[in-house]
Structure 1
Amino acid sequence: MRILVLNADYPRFLAWFYGRHGGLESASYAAQMAARNASLFGVADFYSRNFAALGHVAAEIHVNNTWLQTAWAREHGMAFEAPAAANAERRALPGWVQRIATPFKPMLRPLARKIGLSPKLDGRTEKILLAQIEDFRPDLVLNQDTFYIDTSFMRRVRAIGNPVLIGQVGIEPSRGEDWTVYDLMISQLPTTVNAFRKLGVRSELNHLAFEPSILGALPQAPEPDVDVSFVGTVSTDHRQRIALLEAVAERYDLKLWGNLPRSVAASSPLHRCFQGEVWGVEMYQTLRRSRITLNSHIDFANREAGNMRLFEATGVGAFLLTDFKENLDTLFAPDREVAVWRSIDECLDVIESCLRNHSGRAEIARAGQARTLAQHTYRHRAAEILGLADGPRANR
């Protein structure tokens, strides 16, 4: 079977990535793709490499990577020029619009997704992507960014050989979309699965994961020099997370890596904790140098666990202190494979006791890593997706 995985990257990551690799935007498609995968950011090529290991032909397309996509177009006789890498975050809108909109982005983003106004493919990007799909002729397409690549575009994909279409999404469905174009929607959250089923769309649970080959690609593990870390997003979608981090910052030497939006009050203790953003390799090394790394799910998750941090942190052997969720024990054994907190006060107490208990932290970290490597890898998830796809394929 020929499997094509569609993905989109954060613009901030792309700006950082091409800024770090001067001249890469002019390199070949293969060279840019190899560098992108070596960054280990996000899911890299983890799905495609595991589909391939299971006996299939698989490839990944990073649909909003202008420089990568332009390289493919150039090599296939399509005349497009890429913008300078330095303009990665500003190419979409004039500067004055960017300046006015920036303070409101955290508030507007959830609403835009909910009503279907998220960024979409432009005509140039569509033309390249359709040509790539025509060239690859997939039997199955896994769309991992259903907001950037909307249902109207997926109907055009359907017309190219009638492949099985699977969408992967971690939040509630956007309004105004005809999700029935998909043969299957997968999500790590049961609430999202149920929301799609209510819309008459087949939907199944499929969790996120960790790629074991990361361990061989990382530099030597650094000595722990950070008492408490948090690595991830802070936004208006994470009110509980912000409250937790502010409480931790008042009592402990918290280090925060990620973004710090303008919506965070100037008086917030998080400002003194902020260390900037880390991506891929640097993100994993930050987790490894932390005596305790924190997890707090997005508010929408409610009582359900399943975010990427669960698997990234445990996968590299970090000690993870995560918020307790009703389904957490289906993924990890609370207090044996991950430490848990049920309230902010409990989290503060657990940090206090765990900072003094080095052997206890090490035991939980080892057990958490063992569980992830045994049950939560991309090989496991790829096999699950193939099993779920058998139904739609049998009906073709």
Structure 2
Amino acid sequence: MRLFQNSGLYPSYLPRLNQLAAKASTFAARRDASLQDRFGAAHILEPVLDGAPEAFFTNGDDKVLQRQWAREQGMKGTPTLEAILLAQIEHHGTEVFYNLDPVRYPSAFVAKLPGCVTKTLCWRAAPSGNADLTAYGAVLGNFPSILESWRGKGCRAELFFPAVDPVMEQYGRGERPIDVAFIGGYSRHHGARGKTLEQVAALAADRKLVFCLDASRLTRLAESAVGRLLPLRKHRRPDVIARIARQPLFGRDLYQLFGSAKIVLNGAIDMSGNDRGNMRCFEAMGCGALLVSDAGNYPDGMDPGQTIVTYEAGNDCIAQIENCLQNWDEMKVKAERGRRVVGDLYSKERQWALFENLLEHI
């Protein structure tokens, strides 16, 4: 099977990638820098991570990366990112196209794929406005309610899951000096999460907290000198959060933080309804931290009271965190159990086997 997997980068990750790939003069070197840093590894399929010769991977929104490939292949002029991606697929002789960035490359792009492509799948675990993904053979995701919304738009939608990165085994085998860590977005789409973070941030006087927040552009503008002159108060982070907020972390830096934390705090985005199990859950548990997350419907293996701790609305999150820290020896056992369970249920081998099974029925 000639597999082509396309992904995308967070704008806030680009500075780190540019630093890691500062001496990368080829497409392969820059691509490998992001793969070796494990950015988004929970979604990257096993053949790609293993370097299988029949598998091709790229970040189709990385202008530097894609134009390196275009120059190496002798493409004339300044081709668009879409034109480069199509040329890569044709050059590779792709049979299966798996796209992690389908809003950028929707049905209109699928219609342009070369004839060698026989199967098309995409991952989309969020509502996406008017994006048309009906041309894909299937939309994959792990939130049943969102999958149902895609079916309502005429898409075939199938249950699929992130996986635990095997590299996570290298992290979290020593002391955990950080009491509570959080890594995630902060924007108008994170209302419930923002309230929880504000409550937990108040523990900073007595506990070691690390909050690494990827603030939205509007939040960054609101907190700038110019933004403070504009009517943007509601988009600014509360002072109790802003005082302890750090820059976002990705890849191996994220693994290092989670491997140093007793508790990783998680909160669903407002758009996911009662479904739970975002990528952060897999990363936290895979690095051996105790996942403390909001109550809801979790996938198998993420069992409140057995492998994770959940909190209800209001002040319950604070109570759960304090109880976990005060009874850490007991909770450490729970975290270790969670690491073993998700490592088995959501291994890269099982993720790939599920992907192959889906291909047989699409």
TM-score w.r.t. structure 1 length?
0.80
Q: Take 1:340 and 1:313, find their aligned partners in 2: how far apart are those partners?
A: 14
Of residues 198, 205, 209 in structure 1, which corresponds to 2:163?
209
Task: Output the amino acid matched with 1:206.
Answer: F
CA contact (8 A) 1:40 1:214 kept: no
Partner SS for 2:104: coil
CA distance in 1, matches of 2:80, 2:236: 40
Q: CA deviation at 1:80?
A: 6.0
Corresponding letter in the other structure for 1:17: L
SS at match of 1:181: coil
Q: What is the percentage of aligned positions where both structures have the same residue?
A: 26
Amino acid at match of 1:134: E
Q: 2:153 aligns with which of 187, 190, 199?
A: 199
Distance (whole Å) between structure 2 residues aligned to residue 304 and residue 44 of structure 1: 18
**Any stretches of 5+ residues in structure 1 without a counterpart?**
82-122
TM-score when normalising by structure 2: 0.88
Q: Deviations over 1:22-44 (max 9, x none)?
A: 333xx122222221211111128
Question: Which amino acid counterpart does residue 35 of structure 2 have in structure 1?
Answer: N
Q: Is the 8 A contact 1:74 1:80 kept in 2?
A: no
1:174 equivalent in structure 2: 129
For 1:69, which of 42, 66, 89 is the aligned residue?
66
Residues 364-389 of structure 1 show CA distances to partners (whole Å, capped at 9, x for unaligned) of 11011001111012322221121111
The equivalent residue for 1:285 is 256
Tell whether 2:34 aligns with 1:36: yes
Structure 2 CA distance for partners of 1:274 and 1:170, relative to 1, 3 Å: same
Alignment partner, residue 6 of structure 2? 6
Q: CA 1:266 to 1:2, structure 2 compared with 1: closer, same or farther past 3 Å? A: closer
Q: Hey, what's the Cα distance between the residues in 2 that align with 1:56 and 1:337?
A: 38
Question: Aligned-pair distance for 1:149?
Answer: 1.3
Q: Does 1:257 align with 2:255?
A: no
TM-fit CA distance, 1:137? 1.4
Work out the CA distance in 2 between the residues paired with 1:9 and 1:320.
Answer: 25
**Aligned counterparts of 1:321 and 1:285: Cα–Cα separation in 2:** 18
Whole-Å Cα distance in 2 between the matches of residues 2 and 352 of structure 1? 50
User: Alpha carbon RMSD of aligned pairs, Å?
Assistant: 2.3
CA distance in 2 between counterparts of 1:52 and 1:267 reads 44
Would you say how many aligned residue pairs link Structure 1 and Structure 2?
343
- Counterpart code for 2:121: I
Q: Report the secondary structure of 1:233's partner residue.
A: strand
The amino acid across from 2:277 in the alignment is: G
Tell me which residue corresponds to 2:228: none
Write the letter of the residue equivalent to 1:323.
D
Which residue does the alignment assign to 2:289?
318
Deviation of 1:18 after TM superposition, in Å, equals: 0.5
Q: Quote the Cα distance in structure 1 between the aligned partners of 2:10 and 2:115.
A: 28
Question: Would you say 1:57 and 2:54 are equivalent positions?
Answer: yes
Superposition pairs of residues 140-179 of structure 1, within 5 angstroms:
140-157=96-113, 159-175=114-130, 177=132, 179=133
User: Are 1:244 and 2:196 counterparts?
Assistant: yes
> Which residue identity lines up with residue 28 of structure 2 in the other structure?
A
Q: Which residue is 1:23 aligned to?
A: 23
Runs of 4+ in structure 1 displaced over 4 angstroms? 50-53
- Note if contact 2:102-2:122 (Cα within 8 Å) is conserved in structure 1: yes
Change (3 A) 1:373 1:313: same
